[in-house]
Amino acid sequence: MTAHSGRHFLQIPGPTNVPDRVLRAIAQPTIDHRGPDFAELALDLRERVKPVFGTGGPVVIYPSSGTGAWEAALVNTLSPGDRVLAFETGHFASLWRDMAQRLGLVVDFVPGDWRRGVDAAVVAERLAADKGHGIAAVMVVHNETSTGVTSRIPEIRAAIDEADHPALLLVDTISSLGSIDYRHDDWGVDVTVGCSQKGLMLPPGLGFNAISDKALALAPTARLAKSYWDWTPILDANEHGFYPYTPATNLLYGLREALQLLEEEGLRNVFARHSRHAAATRAAVRGWGLEVLCVNEREYSSSLTAVLLGAEHDADKVRRIILDRFDMSLGTGLGKLSGRVFRIGHLGDLNDLTLAGTLSGVQMGLELAGVNVDPNGLQAALSVLRAE
Ligand SMILES: Cc1ncc(COP(=O)(O)O)c(C=O)c1O
């Protein structure tokens, strides 16, 4: 193993770099989760977490990864044999579909080419055709982490409303929360699924469900088997600052500090920073003469960029060279994009120079791997960073 000096560049699209302030907060001694100090922490978080989701309603916090929060969204709202509408936007949408099927739901899966988001016109068409209102929920991944494509949730909401269809809207905001504008209440989302290790700048280990009144009302009668994920006992215990199980106390300390950081910067500024860094990254990719995987400029992701290489190059070889030579991790191509793309994460605790360093490492790695790139790509990104 080569010894590296300086800090590792963790530029995958999550887990992201954990700020020192958050690491220090997590390092506090664990306390009694049934004592008054814990109750104070939990009651504070119960309110403070809401603005990140754009909601005034309840948010359940699980000691889980995002996958657990996906399951919680389904089992609290749906019953065996229910039909759900989902869209093949990429790897994570496909995994969520697989989970829904394993849980006993019937999934209408709209095929996709992994280069664009959910087409609201297709949502409208499918729901209009569903005269008997058999579709119980529409499942959407807001930001597809495997492709760097962000679906437009307000347009999907409008399509559901235009069809006058009662289907629930379930949205995965795992790699957009705290990085890309998101509004659970304004956009009429019924369950928002989130997790800790991306825009919230925490280690993995917390999963979230933001819940609408409509979804909450369904929980007692939804018949998919649930126990650990059941919202009701958790929300009841949360009222008094407690949990029906041992919570992830130290991650909750981290969450309090991460929310503080987001409050200090201001969510609008956080979103603008991500969008600027994404624009600089795309300028580099285009300047190198390479292709951004996302084909629709209205769907560019602010939290990551997937870069498509020609068939003659192996994207994982490029990543390997960058890791060995420059101590930087980039995201691999997932599922059917394996070997064809690499993903640059530009979300979470990031500044202009971290991004400039990241793009320098990518450019040098591409050159070392024999990919024919124009070195002016980096300059194009620096011009974007310098401009504003
Ligand atoms: C969009 C999206 N959904 C779901 C998941 C699954 O989350 P986890 O790996 O935390 O279980 C991920 C993980 O990266 C993701 O990016």
Give the atom of ligand 1 at the shortest distance from the alpha carbon of 141: 1
Do 151 and 181 meet the contact criterion of CB atoms below 8 Å apart? no
Q: Could you tell me which residues are beta bridge partners of residue 61?
A: 208
Average pLDDT over the chain reads 97
Ligand 1 center from residue 146 Cα (angstroms): 10
Q: Which two tokens stand for residue 143?
A: 């930001």
**What percent of the chain stands above pLDDT 90?**
99
Candidate of 141, 175, 176 to mutate for ligand 1, largest count of ligand atoms within 8 Å of Cβ: 175
| Residues 289-309, mean pLDDT to the nearest whole number | 98
Residue 50 pLDDT > 70, yes or no?
Answer: yes
CA gap 240, 285 in Å, rounded: 51
Identify the DSSP state of 147: T
Quote the pLDDT of residue 279. Answer: 98
Distances (CA, A) of 351 to 186, 363, 375: 30, 18, 22
Predicted structure pTM score: 0.98
Confidence band of 388 (pLDDT split at 50, 70, 90): low
Give the atom of ligand 1 at the shortest distance from the alpha carbon of 14: 14
Q: Could you tell me which residues are beta bridge partners of residue 74?
A: none
The residue to which tokens 């049934």 are assigned? 34
Ligand 1 center from residue 360 Cα (angstroms): 28
pLDDT digits (tens, 9 = 90+) for 266-276: 999 999 999 99
| Residues 371-380, mean pLDDT to the nearest whole number | 97
Do 343 and 12 meet the contact criterion of CB atoms below 8 Å apart? yes
Quote the pLDDT of residue 294. Answer: 98
| Residues 248-274, mean pLDDT to the nearest whole number | 98
Whether residue 66 has its Cβ less than 6 Å from ligand 1? yes
Give the atom of ligand 1 at the shortest distance from the alpha carbon of 68: 11
Ligand 1 center from residue 68 Cα (angstroms): 10
CA gap 22, 36 in Å, rounded: 22
Residue of 18, 347, 7, 79 whose CA lies nearest to 206: 18
CATH of domain 20-263: 3.40.640.10
Quote the pLDDT of residue 237. Answer: 98
Confidence band of 1 (pLDDT split at 50, 70, 90): low
CATH 3.40.640.10 positions along the chain are 20-263
Q: Report the CATH architecture of 9-16+266-386.
A: Alpha-Beta Complex (3.90)
Do 148 and 293 meet the contact criterion of CB atoms below 8 Å apart? yes
- Please name the residue whose Cα sits nearest to atom 7 of ligand 1: 66
Q: Which long-range contacts (CB under 8 A, 24 or more apart) does 178-181 make?
A: 178/52, 178/262, 178/267, 178/270, 178/348, 179/143, 179/270, 179/271, 179/274, 179/302, 179/303, 179/347, 179/348, 180/142, 180/143, 180/150, 180/271, 180/274, 180/275, 180/301, 180/302, 180/303, 181/271
Enumerate the known binding-site residues for substrate.
343
Q: Could you tell me which residues are beta bridge partners of residue 304?
A: 345
Whether residue 172 has its Cβ less than 6 Å from ligand 1? yes
Do 205 and 54 meet the contact criterion of CB atoms below 8 Å apart? no
Quote the pLDDT of residue 2. Answer: 73
Whether residue 177 has its Cβ less than 6 Å from ligand 1? no
Write down how long the chain is: 388
Residue 4 pLDDT > 90, yes or no?
Answer: no
Whether residue 208 has its Cβ less than 6 Å from ligand 1? no
CA gap 179, 139 in Å, rounded: 21
Whether residue 178 has its Cβ less than 6 Å from ligand 1? no
Ligand 1 center from residue 145 Cα (angstroms): 8
Quote the pLDDT of residue 3. Answer: 82
Ligand 1 center from residue 188 Cα (angstroms): 22
Candidate of 10, 67, 149 to mutate for ligand 1, largest count of ligand atoms within 8 Å of Cβ: 67
Residues 6+ apart with CB under 8 A from 297: none
Sequence letter at residue 209: N
DSSP 185-243: TTTT-SEEEEESSSTT---S--EEEEE-HHHHHHTTT--S--STT-HHHHHHHHTTT--
Ligand 1 center from residue 17 Cα (angstroms): 16
Q: Determine if the peptide bond prior to 15 is cis (ω within 30°).
A: yes
pLDDT digits (tens, 9 = 90+) for 136-174: 999 999 999 999 999 999 999 999 999 999 999 999 999
CATH 3.90.1150.10 positions along the chain are 9-16+266-386
Ligand 1 center from residue 141 Cα (angstroms): 10
Strand, coil or helix: 63: coil
